[in-house]
Every structure is written in structure tokens, then in C-alpha cells.
Amino acid sequence: MMSLSSCNSFATDYGVLKLERRSLLAELMSKGVRLTAQRRVLVEIIQTATAHLDVAALLKEAQKREPSINRATVYRTIDLLKKLRLVDELDLMHLNGEKHYYEVKTRRDHLHLACFQCGRIEEFAAPLFEELKAEISRHKGFQIQVVRLEVGGRCSSCRTSATSRKDRKEESPSRNRRATA
């Protein structure tokens, strides 16, 4: 069973390309959007998050700083950020049911690798992903505004620990044989 703390934290390896997140406050200001103190708290939490957060996690974190913030404030702020295309909404392979997670848009699109075993979410950006987008636009004449690609499977550390568990299992019968011989 995956724990919430191990679940869904950003992995630091971004693949081939470095990911740079956009600055929410600066972009909101440049668009002339005025923020209430409550919304500013939420924007700061989303900006500095070290994991992909869902509404419940956002609300909990926000209420620590500003107890008057309620669920409706969170939803309205997310809607605003989504409309301005400053955040992305993810379902992360539904590892935790129907929850949605939010993250500040990165300057370059990236994909998410979700581990079905430990819940770890890794981010990956690669030139090939950019090429795929260009090919889609070229072939379909489609102007891409949002791309979401999620990959589910087993992360490298879960694979490693599974392998060493298997090794131990394969070792023990031979040790027993030696012991009884």
C-alpha cells in the first residue's frame, strides 16, 4: 500500500531537458489580475510545491497560513489559473482514485511517469516529445495548446528492490540445501 508521503513527490531527474516553471505571481500581475490575500496564499503554495497537489492537500496547506480559506476559494483560484493556462491539471494514472493534481506549467512540456507500486511520480522531458508535437501540428494542421502524456509502470527503485528480493529468495533454498547436506 502506498503512503501519501512517498506518493507523488517530484522526482529531480527531468530527463534530457531541464524544466523551468513559470512564475505565477509575475504572470498574473502582467495580465492585470488582482489577487486577494487568500488567493495570493494559494498561488504561493502552488508555485513552491515540491509535489503535485490535489485540492485537499492545497486546502490543508493553505489553511495553515490563512484559516479563512475554504474549498470554494481553492476551486475558484484553480479555475482562474487553469483559464489563464498557468497550471496543468493531471490525473496521474488515477493512482489515487479520481483525484486531480495541479502543477505550475513548465516552459517546456513534460510527461509523467507514475509508479503503480510506490506511487512515485517522475517528470520527463525530451526533444523527441517536442518533435512529436511538431509532427502532429504539421500533419493535422492542429495548433496544440495542451499536451498530457502519462506513463504507468514500475519505477527503477521498485524494480531494483524486486530484483534483490527475488535474488534473496533464490539464494535461500540453496543455503538450506547446503545446511542439510
Exposure pattern of 51-74 as b/e (b: 16+ CB <10 Å)?
A: ebbbeebbbebbeeeeeebeeebb
> Using the rule CB under 5 A, is 118 a contact of Zn ion?
yes
Residue 179 to residue 34: CA distance in whole angstroms: 75
Binding of Zn ion by 7 (CB under 5 A):
no
The DSSP call for residue 30 is H
Binding mask 53-92 for Zn ion (x = CB under 5 A): ----------------------------------------
Site for Zn ion contains 126 (CB under 5 A) = no
> What residues from 20 to 59 belong to the interface with Zn ion (CB under 5 A)?
none
Q: What is the crossing angle of helices 37-48 and 55-65, to 10°?
A: 120
Choice from 39, 58, 59, 103 touching Zn ion (CB under 5 A):
103
Residue placing its CB nearer to Zn ion in the complex, 66 or 89: 89
Q: Is 123 in the site for Zn ion (CB under 5 A)?
A: yes
In whole angstroms, the minimum distance from the beta carbon of 157 to Zn ion comes to: 6
Separation CA 31–CA 139 (nearest Å): 33
Of 54 and 123, CB closest to Zn ion? 123
Give the up-direction half-sphere exposure of residue 113: CA atoms within 13 A in the CB hemisphere: 13
**Location of C-alpha cell 484559516:** 67
Decide if residue 158 touches Zn ion (CB under 5 A).
Answer: yes
Site residues, Zn ion (CB under 5 A): 103, 115, 117-118, 120, 123, 155, 158
